[in-house]
Structure 1
Amino acid sequence: MINLLGAAGVDSFDESVYRALLARHTAGPSTVATDVGCSQKRVTRALNRLRAHGLVDRLAGRPHRYAAIDPHIAVEALIRSRAGELDQVRAAVGELSRLAVTAHPDGTEQIEIVRGRDALLRWFVRLQQEAREEVLGLVLPPYAQAPSNPAEDTALARGVRYRGVYAPEALEGGTLLEIQDLARRGEQARVLPGLRVKLAITDRRLALLPLSFDMSDVSAVVVRPSALLDALVDFFELCWRQSVPLQGDDDEVSSEDRSLLALMAAGLKDEAIARRLGLSLRTMRRRVSALHIRLGATNRFQAGVIAAQRGWL
């Protein structure tokens, strides 16, 4: 099932019910159940969840009928709500980071301060070299080094799994091509607009958390097993659930149009998309209009849904 709204906390089945209701504007559970091919009871539960998300409304009278709310209004409100949840988790991480530093029985500190660009890079490479199963990352510029990461190539080759959540601005320049190349070799890459935390976690037992984006005065903390590490893992997983997948090429669409759709889905502004693709703003918008016509879509939300259905995203 397509799950474009998964990043906003809506699962694939509920999204299929929402799309079916959008096609009819208003309908009862039995009609929607016929459209999606499942039981009325399951559809009713999904409609109630969608109602809680603010995507549908229940009309007065009996039998119950539901109306789909305009995606431009409903989805935007849902995104703002999820962003608020992220802010709450981010605040909790900040509170936990103020806990007093304690020590393990072997004498190693749970929290270690790292200062200087070289020390940060050494720890970043070390985390990947020590990884046995998985490396988790939240990625956004500025970088302490070039965006390329040779240590990841080596780790992927020996079977370490990588999951990366990128801020849209991390896709500027040539970074998107590098991310797509890593995805072809096994990295699971996603994009999350509004990401404001940089983070790397190895095997859920060691984390590296930069404390600022000032590359002239670099500092970070190394976090070992503790309540703070648990909170950082939970924060990553929340970001992962709310992010949008970046997937590979498809023969049905040109590579440039696929890149255009991917950048639109990632939430980049028109100016950033045009700059990334080397197009004038006017040409980029003309290509978007052409894609809308080709897909039979009247807005970007519909274009994203239809493109995903065709396997273009």
Structure 2
Amino acid sequence: MTTDDATSLAPVGLGPFDEEVYRALLTCVDATPAALAERLGQPEGRVDGACGRLRALGLVIRMSGRRRRYTAVDPEAALEALVRERAGELDQVRGSALALSSIFHAARRQAGGGSTIELLNGPEEQGRWFVRLQHQVRSEMMVLDRPPYVLAAVNPVEPVRLDSGVHWRAIYAPEALEIPGAMDEIDDLTRRGEQGRVLPGLPLKLAIADRRIALLPLSMELGHAQGLVIRESTLLDALVELFEVYWARATPLGAPPVADGVPSAAPDEDRQLVQLLAAGLTDSAIARQLGLSTRTMRRRTRRLFDALEATNRFQAGLQAARRGWL
């Protein structure tokens, strides 16, 4: 009995002969190694060994009784468990790749070869590197986020990495929050553990993984996109410091409403409005995020200004910060 590459179970750890025995056992309710050996035209001892290995993988179970008889476990459940196990092993390998890459490039720098800086040409290459950094980060991710986007604005990798325990800080340009659905996504990421802030006038995009490697796009024009991969160096240290400066200047998103240790009595809708105002979004963008007409949003803004005794966004932001709304 043979299988082609499309149906082979080799990726989950089965050798060709063990798979042949497994497939034979699937076609009957149960069988002894002797019966399987006769059916396959193989020595009984070899088939018995294969049954033992299949049992260790959780694909078959030994039935009670003095004679060795085996029956197959439902393949859908058994193989899914093996797939999950292999996926976990591959994630561990992926997580080690960044550390190994640092060792690789450090050795070449010490020997006079290799480079601290790698030039990337084209948006596709930058997109692949951004996904790679997210998969490889082990403890901390620092991101400056602003349009335009090489990949889709929705990032499917970050929630998975947040759930795995990665500490994630992101600073958004106001333009990033104006994209429909952006605030809903950020709210979800915040619940998962992301710390998000917003900074008007954010001039660049940046991603730093574990303070050891960074991706720095050089242009905001997707048609002529170039970028740099920057490994451990004084330049990388400077980019880390730049992120921290921006972080200190940025306005928190979704911060808990506390002031002097006492929860604020501000309604959630007012806190959300003042956060969007402080973020620098336009009236129309704020209205879109809140699901309101621009006219209704402006009426709410005037009422908010009155409540905060403010005449403009800056004053409202100061008053809101004093009350713990930001």
Judge same fold: TM > 0.5, yes or no: yes
Give deviations 1:264-286, integer Å, cap 9, x for gaps: 01122323323433433322211
Structure 1 residues 79-228: aligned runs within 5 Å: 103-105=109-111, 107-172=113-178, 173-228=180-235
1:264 to 242, 256, 277: 277
Larger Rg: 2
Counterpart residue type for residue 281 of structure 1: T
Unaligned runs of 5+ in 2: 1-107, 258-263
Counterpart amino acid of residue 125 in structure 2: A
Task: Name the SS for the 1:307 alignment partner.
Answer: helix
Identify which of structures 1 and 2 has the higher relative contact order when contacts are C-alpha pairs closer than 8 Å and 6+ apart. Answer: 1
Native 8 Å contact 1:137 1:199 kept in 2: yes
Pairwise CA distance, 1:150: 1.9
How much has 1:158 moved relative to structure 2? 1.6
Matched-pair identity in %: 54
**Paired position in structure 2 for 1:274:** 287
* Whole-angstrom CA distance in 2 between matches of 1:164 and 1:191: 8
1:307: which partner in 2? 320
Which of residues 292, 296, 302 is equivalent to 1:283?
296
Q: Cα deviations across residues 28-82 of structure 1 (Å, max 9, x unaligned)?
A: xxxxxxxxxxxxxxxxxxxxxxxxxxxxxxxxxxxxxxxxxxxxxxxxxxxxxxx
Q: Secondary structure at the match of 1:108?
A: coil
Which residue is equivalent to 1:13?
none
| Counterpart position of 2:67 | none
Q: Distance in 1 between matches of 2:225 and 2:158?
A: 22
Q: In 1, distance between residues paired with 2:113 and 2:211?
A: 20
Cα distance in 1 between the residues matched to 2:156 and 2:123: 17
In 1, are the aligned partners of 2:183 and 2:289 still within 8 Å (CA)?
Answer: no
CA positional deviation for 1:262: 1.1
Native 8 Å contact 1:193 1:266 kept in 2: yes
CA contact (8 A) 1:252 1:312 kept: no
Letter in 2 for 1:129: H
Residue aligned with 1:216, SS:
helix
Cα distance in 2 between the residues matched to 1:160 and 1:265 = 28
Q: Which residue of 1 aligns with 2:33?
A: none
Quote how far apart the aligned CAs of 1:191 are: 0.6
**Distance (whole Å) between structure 2 residues aligned to residue 288 and residue 268 of structure 1:** 13
Note closer, same or farther for the CA distance 1:197–1:253 as it changes in structure 2 (3 Å cut): same
Distance between the aligned counterparts of 1:192 and 1:105, measured in 2?
41
AA in 1 matched with 2:118: E
For these two proteins, the number of residue pairs brought into alignment is 212
Change (3 A) 1:298 1:217: closer
Q: CA deviation at 1:104?
A: 4.6
1:242 is aligned to 2:249: yes
Give 1:112 shift: 0.5
The Cα shift of 1:180 comes to: 1.8
